[in-house]
Amino acid sequence: MPPFTKLGAHLRSWDPAGQCLVTQCATVKALDVPAYIDLAGGRLSVFRHYTGVGNAQWQSVSPTDYLNGVLAALGGRRPTYIEGPNECGLDGDGSAGPTTQAFLAWTQAYVQAAHQAGLRVAGFSFSTGWPTPEQYAYLRAHFQYPHPDRAI
């Protein structure tokens, strides 16, 4: 067991310090650097792929095309979880309006496509204030997946 059993490395560039850190942490989050998944071994790993289109990225690509980009970036690697778009701009007034509702439908389709590809999906990140508490409550209350025996 690594010495840092409650810490996770959150890495977005390939460098010697990051490589060393991965070997010391219980979890690894690789931000577009799939080689860190290799170093994680059997430990919990999460992969996030950036598309370069900013926080509206989910609106500019279909869930299947986004997943295909993730799979291409992974190059055959299989992390414990993948992520979808993060820190997405939703309804600017903070409500659970039409953009938030569209994001929910997009996310459900993305999760379904990922599960069909044999991957598990980690929830999106919201460290920059998206979604707001009201939007998060809506997303959490309304998310449905057609296969209740599969964990999300």
The 10s digit of each residue's pLDDT in 10-63 is 667 777 777 777 788 888 888 888 888 888 888 889 998 876 655 666 788 899
The 10s digit of each residue's pLDDT in 58-109 is 788 899 999 999 999 999 999 999 988 877 778 888 888 998 899 889 989 9
Taking the C-alpha atoms of residue 88 and residue 100, their distance in angstroms, rounded to an integer, is 10
In a domain, 147, yes or no: no
Number of structural domains found in the chain: 1
Domain of 137 in residue numbering reads as 4-142
Taking the C-alpha atoms of residue 17 and residue 151, their distance in angstroms, rounded to an integer, is 34
In a domain, 148, yes or no: no
* Residue 48 CA: distances (Å) to CA of 39, 64, 81, 93, 144: 16, 15, 9, 27, 22
Tokens encoding 59: 């609106």
pLDDT of residue 120: 92
